[in-house]
Structure 1
Amino acid sequence: MRDTHSSVIERKPAKKKFLSPDALWAFILLIPLLLGIALVYFSALFGFAMSFTSWDIVRKAEWVEMSNYRTMIGDELVWKAMRNTLFFLLITIPAKLVIGFFLAVLLNQKLRGIQLFRLTYFFPTACSVVAIALVWGYLYGANGFLNQILQSFGLSKVYWMDESHAMGSIAIMTLWSGMGYIALLFLAGLQNVPPDFYEASRVDGASKFQQMWKITIPLVTPTTFFILVTQIIAAFQMFGEVYLLKGPSNSTLTIVQYIFKEAFQGFRMGYASALSYILIIIILIITVIQLRIQKRWVHYDL
C-alpha cells in the first residue's frame, strides 16, 4: 500500500524580515533628524554639567559645585538684565496683543486691495534684525530723521539711545517690527470664526460692539493664548535688537545678552551655563502656569 505521507512536500516558513523596505527607507530618512535631537539632548546635559564647573575653554574644567548659582544671587548685572527683560515683556507684549488684534480686524475687511495692505504690514517681519536695527539706528541718531522732524516743529532734540530713553526706544522698534506677525496670526483666527454666529446675533439685534465682545474676542482666545506663550518666550530670548542697538552703561542689557557676554567675551562658560539653566527654569515655570490657567479663559466654542 502506498504511503500517502511520502508525497507531501514540506515547506519551511519564509523568514520574516526585521524591517520592510519601506520601514528601512523611513528609518534612513529619519537619521538626520534623530542625530539632531540627540545632539540637542547631549548639549543640554553637557551644559547642565558645565554649570557646576569653572571653565574658560582653555584650561581644564574645575568642579565648583553650586558656586555659580550662589554667585548670581549677588550679581547686580543679573538682576539688571532680568529687570530689563521683564520691562520688554510687560511693555511690548500687551501692546502687541491690543494693537495686533485691532489691526487684524481692520485687515479682515473686504476691501479692494486689502491684500496689498496685509503684505505691507507683514513686510517688517520678513526683514532681518540687522537691517531693522540699522534703519532705526539712523532714525534714533542725534541728527537722525526723528530729531529733524522735531526740530522742524521748533522742538528740541531727543537723545533716543541715552540711558533714560534706550529701553523705550528699542521697545518701540520691536513693537513695529513684530506687529505684522501678530496681526497675521489674529487675522487667521478671525477668519476661522464661523459666520453663522454673526448672522444669528444680528437676528437677535446684537450691536457691533456686542458681537466683538461676545463672539469675536472669545473665539480668538486660542490664537491669543498661542501668541502670549510664544511672545513671552521670545521676550526672554531677546538678543539681536539689544546687541545691535544697545544703550550705554548696560542700560539695555537683557539676560540672553548677559549670557552671551559671560560665555564668549568673558569666557566664563560655567557661569553662563548656570545663567542659561536659570532662564530655562523661569520660562518653564511661566509656560506651565499658562497651560494650567488657560482653561479658565481660552474658549474653543461658545
Structure 2
Amino acid sequence: MQKSEITAPVIIRQPKRNKWISEDAKWAFLLLIPLFVGIGLIYFSTIFGFVMSFTSWDIVRKAEWVGLDNYRTLASDELVWKAMRNTLVFLLISTPAKLIIGLALAILLNQKLKGISFFRLTYFFPTACSVVAIALVWGYLYGTDGFLNTLLQDIGLSKVYWMDENHAMGSIAIMSVWGGMGYIALLFLAGLQNVPTEYYEASYVDGASKLRQFWNITLPLLTPTTFFIVVTQLIAAFQMFGEVYLLSGPLDSTLTIVQYIFNEAFQGFRMGYASALSYVLILIIFLITIVQLKLQKKWVHYDL
C-alpha cells in the first residue's frame, strides 16, 4: 500500500506596497494638481478682489484702505446707472428674441427632411464664429453707406444711423441675437427630441390639433430646457463685453457694466473701484439667479 504524498502549501508572495499611499493614488494626486491650482487661484482672486474693493489702488502705489467709500461712490455715479440701463436694454431685447427665434428654428429643424443636417449646421455656424469676426461683419452692415442702408435706399426708404446714440444698443442686441440663436436652437432641438412620442400619439387619437399639442405637450415638456436657457442667457447678458468693446456707439450709448469695470480697471487704473463694481454685479447676478431658482417650481415641469 502506497503512502499518500503530502504536498506543502504554495505560498504566493504579494508585491510589497507602500503602507501610506499606493502607486495609483500617487498618479491620481499628480493629475489633480492642475485642478487644485486652478481652484486655488480662483479662490485667491475672489478673496483678493473683495479685499481690494475696500481700498484705493492703482497697481503702482501701495493700496490705501478707504472702507466703504468705493461703494458709496458707485451709488451716486451716473455712469454706473447708465451702464446698468444699457445692460437691461440689451437683456430685454436679446433674451426674449433668442428664445422665440431659437424655438421657432428648433421646430423647423426637428422635421424629418432630406438634408436637414445641412441646415442644422448652417444655423449653428454663427455660434462657432469669433466675436471679433461677427463685429467686423456687422460693423460693415451698419455703416452709413453699408449694406443695410443701401438696401433701404433701393426700396425707397431713408438711411438709418444704426450706431447713433438712439439705435446703437438695439443694433448690438440684434447682432447678438444673430450670433447666438443657433446655440439656443440646438438646445431646444435636443429638448424636442426628448419629448416622448406617446404623448403626441395619444393626443392625436383624442383629436387634438397641432396647436393644441404644441401648447399642452411641447411647451410644458420644454420648460426645463427653457429654464436653463433663461438662467444662462441672463447671466451672459449681464456679462456682455466683447460686442460693445468692438462695436461701440457715441456718448457711452453702448456702455455696459462689464465694459465700465474694464475701463475703470485697465484705463483709469482704479482697481479698488473696479473691484467694488465687480462685486455689485456678482450680487445682482446672484440675487436674480436665486429668484429664478425659487420661481422654477411654479412653471418648470419634468412630466405632464
> After TM superposition, is the score higher than 0.5?
yes
Deviates more, 1:114-123 or 1:89-98: 89-98
1:278 aligned partner: 280
Instruction: Supply the AA of the counterpart residue of 2:57.
Output: W
Counterpart residue number, 2:97: 95
Q: Distance in 2 between matches of 1:148 and 1:279?
A: 40
| TM-score calculated relative to the size of structure 2 | 0.93
1:9-29 CA distance string (max 9 Å, x none):
xxxxx9862222222211111
Aligned match for 2:34, one of 29, 32, 35: 32
Alpha-carbon distance in 1 for matches of 2:156, 2:109? 36
* Match in the other structure for 2:73: 71
221, 229, 232: which one aligns with 1:230: 232
> 1 CA distance for matches of 2:26 and 2:197?
47
Q: TM-score scaled by structure 1? A: 0.94
Summarize deviations over 1:50-69 as a string: whole Å, max 9, x none.
Answer: 00000001111000000000
- 1:77-134 superposed Cα distances (whole Å, 9 cap, x missing partner): 0000000111111111111111111110010000111111111100000000000000
Q: 1:20 aligns with which of 10, 14, 22?
A: 22
Deviating more after overlay: 70-79 vs 14-23: 14-23
User: In the TM superposition, what whole-angstrom CA distance separates every residue of 1:35-64 from its partner, at most 9, and x where no partner exists?
Assistant: 000000000000000000000011110000
Structure 1 residue 155, shift from structure 2 partner: 1.9
- Aligned position for 2:292: 290
Matched with 1:8 is none
Distance apart, 1:293 and its partner CA: 1.0
1:218 corresponds to: 220
Structure 2: how far apart are the matches of 1:170 and 1:45?
34
Match of 2:253 in 1: 251
Cα offset, 1:190, TM superposition: 0.3
Equivalent position of 1:200 in the other structure: 202
Select the residue among 29, 45, 48 that pairs with 2:47: 45
Of 198-207 and 239-248, deviating more is 198-207
- Aligned residue for 2:140, secondary structure, equals helix
Count of matched residue pairs: 289
Which letter does structure 2 place at the counterpart of 1:227?
I
- Counterpart of 1:181? 183
AA matched with 2:63: A
Structure 1: state its 5+ residue gaps: 1-13
Report the more deviating stretch, 207-216 or 39-48.
207-216
The alignment-based identity, stated in percent, is 77
The CA distance in 1 between the partners of 2:27 and 2:294, in whole Å, is: 40
SS at match of 1:206: coil
Match of 1:9 in 2: none
CA distance in 2, matches of 1:218, 1:210: 12
Amino acid at match of 2:239: Q
Q: Separation in 1 of the partners of 2:150 and 2:17?
A: 83
Could you tell me which amino acid in structure 2 is paired with residue 76 of structure 1?
A: E
SS in 2 for 1:190: helix
